[in-house]
Amino acid sequence: MATKNVEKIIAPATPHYVGDGFRVHNFIPGNEQRLSMQRMSPFIMLDYNSKFYFPPSKTPRGVGVHPHRGFETVTIAYKGKVAHHDSGGGGGVISEGDVQWMTAASGVLHKEYHEEVFSRKGGDFQVVQLWVNLPAKDKMSQPKYQAIENKNIHRYHVENNGGEIEVIAGQYKDVKGSATTFTPLHLFNAKLNKGAKTSFSFPENYNTALLVIEGNIIINAAEKVATDHLALFENKGESFTIEATENAFVLILSGEPIHETIAAHGPFVMNTQAEILQAFNDYNQGKFGYLED
């Protein structure tokens, strides 16, 4: 198979706060130095709360009630704990290593914040939130929720005690992911020990990137990628290798692009501006349900 090379390595942007509980570097979408929604479709947003210490607080920090329509949110907790609720009845705590996969689709209200005990104690907090677009035919489908505890994530064990690949969605070798998806995509956490080397292969037309959560890696024996940096791959070739120069934790995402128009405004991602206006009207008329702030 032909090698899939790195197109560019992207440093984390200046962080900003989402609510008062998420100090994030935004990678998708962004300015011309980062990635557009179309360039990384079906992944239309990636906010990364790099490891950051939050001091103890009696009142949990977070984001109050807000709507979503037209896509899915995927929250991966690496440090700390996130509590969440939505108007569809979903909710709970995302502990370290867990994944929350919420299909907003036709519309939900949602809130997320630091879990109460974690908030009182304070500590390191590190989270990724992805937005995954839905094709037009599924945007108004019934909302649903997948709570994926870390113990239930399927794993591939890297040879020679090299670590493991957590397969959240898609498939790595003969290991299938725990999440169900609307379009073909792969989402992995690669936990690699120092010196471990492993390979990945995705169709060349899939939009592919990786984010180094911890440690440092080398891609294709040539490109060094440091902690908190994102590597974007070309849409050429299929296979690439990763070598961990120290113990490393890497989020890998690859998906078949959805070749449809994107109309986005705040918490709504649809196909036309008329659909965006309808989303605002439906929200203002209370059609997204009720959720106490």
Query: Which residue in 291, 36, 256, 275 sits closest to 139, CA to CA?
Result: 275
Give the model's pLDDT for residue 179: 97
C-alpha distances in Å from residue 226, one per residue of 10, 163, 230: 10, 19, 8
Q: Which domain holds residue 181?
A: 6-255
- In this predicted model, what pLDDT tens digit does every residue of 51-95 receive, in sequence order? 999 999 999 999 999 999 999 999 999 999 999 988 888 789 999
Rounded CA-CA distance 177/211 in Å is 19
pLDDT at 107 over 70: yes
Total domains present in the chain: 1
Give the model's pLDDT for residue 169: 98
pLDDT at 104 over 80: yes
Inside any domain, residue 64: yes
Inside any domain, residue 115: yes
The model's pTM? 0.96
Inside any domain, residue 285: no
Inside any domain, residue 19: yes
Inside any domain, residue 290: no
Check which CATH number belongs to the domain holding 42 and give it: 2.60.120.10
- In this predicted model, what pLDDT tens digit does every residue of 190-205 receive, in sequence order? 999 999 999 999 999 9
Give the model's pLDDT for residue 292: 85
Give the model's pLDDT for residue 32: 52
Q: Which residues pair with 68 in a beta bridge?
A: 108
